[in-house]
Structure 1
Amino acid sequence: MKVWIVMPARDEEFAIGGVIDGLQREGWRDIIVVDDGSRDRTAEIARAKGAVVVSHQRNLGLGAALRTGLEEARRRGADCAVTFDADGQHDPREVRKLVEAIDGADLVIGSRRSVNIPLNKRFGNFMLNLITRLMGGPLLDSQSGLRAFSRRALEAIRIRSDRYEVSSEIVINARRLGLRIREVPVSCYFTDYSKARGTTIASGLRIFFRLVRLRLLYG
């Protein structure tokens, strides 16, 4: 199975080198980093580590970065693509678990298990998971950045959103298309660095309204 890791990244020069090193130690050499308008050395470091770097000239958002990365993985003949956050919260050893679970599934969600998830993020994730379910998706850790896509899913799912609502959109879309969805527990590590990144309560509200708009688009 040809597996590509897809990593959206913006201004991650302090973490991305170590994240790529960890993936490579686990045997994952085919890595696509989507540099989403970074103003630091993110792209330079990723390229020096041997990753394929695709750059957006300006910041377009998480959804746009995932769309670019997954399209590139599909173009390069991926049988499976695994999305992986660049801030160091995911364990590279968990990738194999998702790749193995894709046998018999089309979309595998890495459901995060951590005792140190900040309360605001825990609450925000709960609310967005609930909203995702109400809009047609299963109640998984829909906001997890650790996911595996089968070739069928890569060809079927078309991402429309540009921002953080993409995480819910992927799950809703997969259910709507009749794709087989599986959830596997994974570890995650929220450092002070990763706690400061990602969604906030304010961004959660913006995600909600964008999801409503997407729901109207999909019908």
Structure 2
Amino acid sequence: MNKNSIYFVIPAYNEEKIIGSVLKKLNKNGYFKIIVINDNSSDNTHKISKKYAYVINHKKNRGQGAALRHGINYCLKQSKCKYIVTFDADGQHRIEDLNNMLKPVIDKKCEITLGSRFLCKKSNMPFIKWFLLKLSLVFTLLISHINLTDTHNGYRVMNRYAAKCIEIKENCMAHASEIIDEIGIKKIKYKEIPVIINYNPYVIKKHNFYALIKRSIFVAFKMIIRKFRLLFNNN
């Protein structure tokens, strides 16, 4: 496996406390094609990231969806890029799970793999997070008609075909549901892979109770609007 054909896309916003250790670990494991999209951070995210990765800076805070879109489009312009990994900047995702995520795509058994924390028994997930994610499974099944165990996991591996097919239009957090919807609409071959999510103190502190509920309601509303637009356009 040529690691130089594997490109990481990592959106980042004010992650100076942890992004250095995340990127350093990727480098240590032989991964150097790392694209950090610095979403107008007000801290030292850019300064730290540029030691280990290529950094794209947004002049305005545009949201995680916009950052992913920008990063994926950049990767598709690189002729050596065969596989794209979307990876979180806050230390949630483990490099130890990457080989299992990559293998089905490299072996052409699917076009995209989706990490699932619910297929792995090891978890220290906060209850409110567990509850909201379980609710989102039902919502996604109703809206996108795709039966997944984890619909809001940012750990993904895709080949160039899948990356070209998936159109991310949502700039903010609704992009996660949008990607699932795109997989269903475009009939992209997918496979869920068990992954361990590291709910470290930094992650838990960053995602508070009220923010999670507010975000979940917002995402649900956006996806309902998207579905109605698609139905209207098809008619």
- Normalising by structure 1, we get a TM-score of 0.95
Aligned-partner Cα distance in 2 for 1:196–1:67: 27
Moved more, 121-130 or 172-181: 121-130
CA offsets, 1:142-167, max 9 Å, x none? 10010011111011111111111111
Aligned-partner Cα distance in 2 for 1:149–1:30: 15
Aligned match of 1:121: 129
- Whether the aligned pair in 2 keeps the contact of 1:175 and 1:181 (CA below 8 Å) is no
Aligned match of 1:96: 99
Question: Helix, strand or coil: the match of 2:195?
Answer: strand
Matches within 5 A, 1:17-166: 17-49=20-52, 51-77=53-79, 78-102=81-105, 103=107, 104-112=109-117, 113=120, 114-136=122-144, 137-166=146-175
Question: Helix, strand or coil: the match of 1:87?
Answer: coil
Aligned-partner Cα distance in 2 for 1:120–1:22: 30
Aligned match of 2:216: 204
- Whether the aligned pair in 1 keeps the contact of 2:65 and 2:168 (CA below 8 Å) is yes
* CA spacing shift, 1:3–1:58, aligned 2, 3 Å: same
List gaps (5 residues or longer) in structure 2. none
Letter in 1 for 2:101: L
- Whether the aligned pair in 1 keeps the contact of 2:123 and 2:197 (CA below 8 Å) is no
- Whether the aligned pair in 1 keeps the contact of 2:123 and 2:196 (CA below 8 Å) is no
**Structure 1 moving runs of 4+ over 6 Å:** none
RMSD value, Cα: 1.3
List gaps (5 residues or longer) in structure 1. none
Question: Helix, strand or coil: the match of 1:200?
Answer: helix
- Normalising by structure 2, we get a TM-score of 0.89
Aligned match of 1:171: 180
Identity of aligned residues (%): 30
Q: Which has the higher helix share?
A: 2
The counterpart of 1:188, out of the listed 193, 197, 200, is: 197
Offset at residue 190 of structure 1 (A) = 0.2
**Number of residues paired by the alignment?**
218
